Chain A
């Protein structure tokens, strides 16, 4: 079945540091890939997505590129802020036999300190 593997946290960075959260996946076919974010006290929300190989999703300064050859979708941001402190979930949408669903990674907690 489909699966998503992402680095376990917590990740602690100083403000303005560079962020990378690794995500790799296993799937049949050509899944769509997502990053969701959960800020403290809030529900998960979609951060960015990519639907085919070499697509780059971006939002709020975050980027991730769909790399089919390495089955990866790493999340990056050049300069993090305290307000980026949250839990980040990598996810894929795919399946087989006419049935598709969203599969999530374990989530990576990011803490940004001033």
Chain B
């Protein structure tokens, strides 16, 4: 399976600021996704990153708060905008080949703490 690199791996941010997380895959992948893992909770899908077009957001997540880019088949970014302490979480990038398997591979995640 492909290897995903995320950066930053962790950061401490001030309320009201924005942070962009980068996700690089070492090979081309069909699908890329962004998940959030809040303390003591499961992974929640934020959106599907679509190459060359707007991301597909899950219920409860909006583009203004979590703008996503995917300029090619190996790279994507997630921005967490106007952060508040409630955004403190681990953000995970994942990839998958095809739309019918459900098999995903993940980066190590980016742990954000908002003060």
Contacts and interface: CB of A to CB of B under 8 A. Distances in A.
Interface of A: 4, 32, 34, 36, 41-46, 49, 89, 91-94, 100-102, 104-107
26 contacts: A32-B102, A34-B102, A42-B108, A43-B105, A43-B108, A44-B43, A44-B92, A44-B106, A45-B1, A45-B105, A45-B106, A46-B105, A49-B102, A49-B103, A89-B42, A89-B43, A91-B102, A93-B101, A93-B102, A100-B102, A101-B45, A102-B102, A104-B42, A105-B42, A106-B40, A107-B42
Contacts, number: 52
Contacts of B92: 43-44
A84 to B, nearest CB: 19
Contacts of B43: 44, 89, 104
Contact of A46 (B4, B42, B58, B104): B104
Nearest to A107: B42
Contact of B107 (A4, A32, A43, A91): A43
- Of A32, A102, A105, chain B has the most CB atoms within 10 Å of the CB of A102
Contacts of A32: 101-102
Interface residues of B, number: 22
Contacts of B53: none
B103 A34 contact: yes
Contacts of B103: 34, 46, 49
Nearest to A49: B103
A47 B6 CA distance: 21
Given A43-B92, A44-B92, A93-B102, A102 B107 contact: no
Task: Give the 4 A-B residue pairs with the shortest CB-CB distance, closest first.
Answer: A93-B102, A43-B106, A44-B106, A104-B43
Contact of B99 (A45, A100, A104): A100
